[in-house]
């Protein structure tokens, strides 16, 4: 549709560029990019909630569920098809979110944030106690196939990278449309004034319920991709610091545009990698300082760089 | 004309405070009714009960011969009763145009779309039309926080009318609006109401406005209705003069008109 044409061409160009980069870049770089694309999917879910005025400190729950779904499907059920296991990761996350969402959609602000965190910590606790799933060590995922073809370990990284690019493209296109749709705006309306939304004949809780499920499905996909890329899952994926990382990236990106999330997730991985090299003992300080700078200079996130410039140029 | 809203012995108490006691009211199709009463008389409480925001302690509410007691505000909105607010309830970080587009789309949809754009050309055109109808088209692109009070009041009413309701309840449409703007504002609102063919009940402290725009007046005093009569008759009623109009004059003198506290709708 005309309305989305410019953004869609931009996404398509970025996709082609990413594919080309993947063919040329060293392994460590495409691995880092795969992980940042996967995490960006999680953060887009978080941004959907943020736009409705809700902060989840527990997206790690679905990130981890997605990862473990992929792991368990491959390791214990011998279902190894990459597309199939990703689908399972999303369905499992969606189902769990539909159950927890019944309770969570009635809470707001700090209560919502704390409850989401509590649920993710419960999963963490369960996994740590599950000897069959490797307790704190988690377990490895040995084989991944695509329509019956099993790429060797030398090729797998690149294939998963392509898969992540494809997932990112699909999510970017669909979620950009979502942000501009009536339900997307209903989120902002809920953030601004729930009483009015109710008096417009719409249930805020139901909208939030649907957004919570959508965010979980995205987080599940992100977790599943991460598991495929790293070949490993462990309970750390559900730990609150993992969820905190997602919130960090969301603050970095802001809620203005889907594309900003991908940029922010990539920057985050880069900053973290270099910070770790530079200061192995206090790399968190570098991350903290980055966050402070963002909050002071770009309170609406990275995307405001583009919108500020556009406003300055006098173009609408 | 036929009755669309009927309340029977509607009552509401908050602890020891009686905000409504045995309210029996009938509103007819396309009727314009004024509601008067001093601060705390129970006018907003009445609107809150009819629209399902507050649950009455006792009594019944029928809309088009259907019992609507216990329905939520969103159900009641869907079946054709809309309201505006004493303190405008808007989406303050969005523009006036976006507020109206959202109102139109949310009110009219049975299922909200997740992939089609909100701001289609036709939706935007319709919203601009509605802003123009209320005389605030110039503010279309302004963020709500930058709007003058009178414009906010109009926007609030325009949003209430987005779903073409059969019954419109306006809670103090002119409160917080400068004296000289009140009549132009009411002219605009009443023209829109007449065009929409909705019945309209509005709460008002200014008796000149009540006299100018209403066919009939309900006077509230301490949770009770002390008069329900054609406007002229009601305004000359002895009890009304003593308990309502007297206190209103007093209120104007003390400048209580410009209260700006925020309360629940
Ligand atoms: N949610 C509430 N909890 C407790 N008391 C309430 C509540 N809402 C209203 N009241 C009380 O009920 C009475 C009627 O209030 P209401 O808001 O209906 O008055 P009103 O006629 O709209 O007055 P105003 O002209 O000031 O808007 C008041 O005494 C008020 O303090
Ligand atoms: Mg009131």
What pLDDT score does B262 carry?
44
Is A294 part of any domain?
A: no
What pLDDT score does A2 carry?
67
Q: For ligand 1, pick from B14, B39, B55 the residue to mutate: most ligand atoms within 8 Å of CB.
A: B14
Question: Are the C-beta atoms of B252 and B204 separated by less than 8 Å?
Answer: no
145-174 in B: which are within 8 Å (CB) of A? 159-160, 162-163
> Which residues in chain A touch residue B168, judged by CB atoms under 8 angstroms apart?
none
- CB B126: neighbour CB atoms within 10 A? 17
Report the gap between the CA of B103 and the closest CA in chain A (Å): 6
Is A126 part of any domain?
A: yes
ipTM of the complex, rounded to two decimals? 0.89
**Residue B116 DSSP label:** S
Which helix (H) or strand (E) covers residue B3, if one does?
Answer: strand B3-14
What pLDDT score does A316 carry?
31
What pLDDT score does A273 carry?
85
Is A297 part of any domain?
A: no
| Angle at the Cα of A268 from the Cα atoms of A175 and A124, rounded to 5 degrees | 80
Task: Enter the tokens of residue B177.
Answer: 């609006």
Is A296 part of any domain?
A: no
- Whether A174 and chain B come into contact, CB under 8 Å, resolves to yes
Closest residue (by CA) to atom 11 of ligand 1?
B19
First to last CA, chain B: 30
Domain that holds residue A217: 2-280
- CB B253: neighbour CB atoms within 10 A? 9
Kindly give the number of the ligand 1 atom that is closest to the alpha carbon of B48. 18
Is A233 part of any domain?
A: yes
Rounded (to 5) percent helix, strand, coil in chain B: 40, 25, 35
Task: Enter the tokens of residue B107.
Answer: 């009110």
Report the gap between the CA of A125 and the closest CA in chain B (Å): 36
**Residue B218 DSSP label:** E
Q: What is the CA radius of gyration of chain B?
A: 18
* Average pLDDT per 10 consecutive residues for chain B, totaling 265 residues: 89 86 91 90 92 91 91 93 93 94 88 83 90 92 91 94 93 89 92 92 90 91 87 76 71 51 48
> Nearest-CA residue of chain A relative to B121?
A3
Question: Are the C-beta atoms of B201 and B33 separated by less than 8 Å?
Answer: yes
* Average pLDDT per 10 consecutive residues for chain A, totaling 316 residues: 79 87 86 95 96 94 96 84 91 96 92 93 91 82 78 81 94 94 94 94 95 97 94 92 92 89 91 81 80 81 68 38
Spatial distance between the Cα atoms of B68 and A189, rounded to a whole number of angstroms: 26
DSSP per-residue codes, A48-98: HHHHTT---S-THHHHHHHHHHHHHHHHTT---BHHHHHHHHHHHHHHHHH
What pLDDT score does B116 carry?
83
Is A300 part of any domain?
A: no
Spatial distance between the Cα atoms of A38 and B265, rounded to a whole number of angstroms: 44
- Whether A241 and chain B come into contact, CB under 8 Å, resolves to no
Q: Which of A3, A186, A195 sits opposite B89 (nearest CB)?
A: A195
Query: Where residue A137 sits, what CATH number does that domain have?
Result: 1.10.3470
Question: Are the C-beta atoms of B32 and B210 separated by less than 8 Å?
Answer: no
Closest residue (by CA) to atom 27 of ligand 1?
B39
| Angle at the Cα of A245 from the Cα atoms of A241 and A248, rounded to 5 degrees | 130
Contact A201 B163 (CB under 8 A): yes
Closest residue (by CA) to atom 24 of ligand 1?
B39
Contact A189 B265 (CB under 8 A): no
Where b means 16+ CB within 10 Å and e means fewer, B196-230 reads bebbbbbbbbbbebbeebbebbbbbbbbbbbbbee
> Which residues in chain A touch residue B162, judged by CB atoms under 8 angstroms apart?
200
- Whether A222 and chain B come into contact, CB under 8 Å, resolves to no
Overall domain count for chain A: 1
Task: Enter the tokens of residue A308.
Answer: 């500020």
Closest ligand by atom to B40 CA: 1
Spatial distance between the Cα atoms of A111 and B39, rounded to a whole number of angstroms: 36
Is A305 part of any domain?
A: no
CA B243 / ligand 1 centre spacing (Å): 17
Contact A181 B119 (CB under 8 A): no
Where b means 16+ CB within 10 Å and e means fewer, A270-299 reads ebbeebeeeeeeebeebbeebeeebeeebe
Task: Enter the tokens of residue A295.
Answer: 């909050």
Is A299 part of any domain?
A: no
What pLDDT score does B249 carry?
65
> Which residues in chain B touch residue A3, judged by CB atoms under 8 angstroms apart?
117, 120
Where would I find the H helices in chain B?
43-50, 73-78, 96-108, 121-133, 149-160, 179-196, 207-213, 231-236, 238-240, 246-253
What pLDDT score does A11 carry?
87
Spatial distance between the Cα atoms of B44 and A122, rounded to a whole number of angstroms: 45
């Amino acid at each position: 549709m005309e309305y989305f044409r410019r953004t869609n061409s931009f996404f398509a160009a970025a996709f082609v560029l990413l594919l080309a980069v993947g063919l040329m870049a060293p392994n460590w770089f495409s691995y880092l990019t795969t992980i940042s694309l996967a995490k960006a999917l999680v953060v887009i879910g978080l941004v959907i909630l943020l736009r409705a005025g809700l902060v989840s400190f527990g997206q790690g729950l679905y990130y981890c569920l997605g990862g473990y779904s992929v792991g368990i499907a491959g390791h214990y059920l011998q279902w190894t098809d990459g597309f199939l296991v990703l689908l399972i990761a999303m369905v499992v996350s969606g189902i769990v979110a539909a159950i927890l969402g019944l309770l969570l959609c009635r809470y707001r602000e700090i209560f919502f944030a704390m409850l989401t965190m509590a649920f993710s910590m419960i999963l963490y606790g369960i996994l740590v106690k599950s000897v069959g799933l490797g307790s704190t060590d988690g377990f490895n995922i040995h084989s991944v196939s695509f329509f019956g073809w099993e790429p060797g370990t030398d090729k797998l990284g690149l294939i998963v990278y392509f898969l992540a690019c494809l997932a990112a493209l699909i999510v970017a296109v669909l979620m950009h449309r979502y942000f501009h749709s009536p339900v997307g705006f209903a989120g902002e309306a809920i953030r601004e004034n729930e009483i009015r939304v109710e008096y417009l004949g719409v249930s805020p809780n139901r909208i939030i319920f649907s957004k919570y499920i959508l965010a979980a499905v995205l987080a599940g996909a992100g977790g599943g991709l991460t598991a495929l890329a790293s070949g490993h899952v462990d309970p750390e994926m559900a730990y609150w610091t993992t969820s905190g990382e997602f919130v960090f990236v969301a603050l970095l990106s802001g809620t203005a545009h889907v594309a900003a999330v991908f940029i922010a997730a990539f920057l985050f991985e880069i900053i973290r990698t270099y910070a770790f090299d530079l200061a192995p003992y206090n790399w968190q300080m570098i991350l903290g300082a980055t966050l402070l700078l963002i909050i002071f200079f770009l309170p609406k996130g990275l995307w405001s760089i583009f919108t500020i410039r556009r406003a300055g140029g006098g173009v609408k | 004309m036929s009755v669309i809203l009927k309340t029977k012995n509607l009552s509401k108490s908050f602890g020891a405070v009686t905000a409504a006691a045995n309210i029996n009211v009938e509103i007819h199709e396309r009727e314009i009714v004024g509601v008067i009463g001093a601060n705390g008389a129970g006018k907003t409480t009445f609107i809150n009960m009819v629209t399902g925001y507050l649950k009455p302690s006792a009594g019944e509410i029928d809309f088009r011969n259907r019992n609507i007691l216990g329905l939520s505000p969103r159900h009641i909105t869907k079946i054709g009763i809309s309201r505006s607010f004493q303190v405008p309830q808007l989406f303050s970080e969005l523009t006036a145009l976006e507020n109206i587009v959202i109102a139109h789309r949310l009110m009219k949809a049975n299922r909200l779309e997740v992939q089609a754009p909100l701001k289609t050309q036709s939706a935007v055109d319709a919203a601009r039309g509605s802003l123009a109808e209320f005389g605030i088209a110039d503010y279309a692109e302004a963020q709500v926080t930058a709007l003058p009070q009178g414009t906010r009041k109009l926007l609030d009413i325009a949003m209430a009318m987005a779903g073409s309701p059969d019954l419109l309840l306006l809670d103090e449409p002119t409160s917080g609006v400068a004296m000289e703007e009140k009549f132009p504002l009411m002219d605009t609102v009443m023209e829109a109401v007449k065009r929409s063919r909705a019945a309209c009940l509005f709460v008002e402290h200014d008796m000149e406005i009540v006299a100018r725009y209403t066919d009939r007046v309900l006077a509230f005093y301490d949770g009770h209705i002390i008069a329900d009569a054609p406007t002229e008759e009601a305004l000359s009623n002895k009890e009304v003069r003593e308990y309502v109009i007297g206190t209103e004059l007093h209120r104007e003198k003390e400048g209580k008109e410009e209260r700006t506290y925020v309360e629940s709708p």
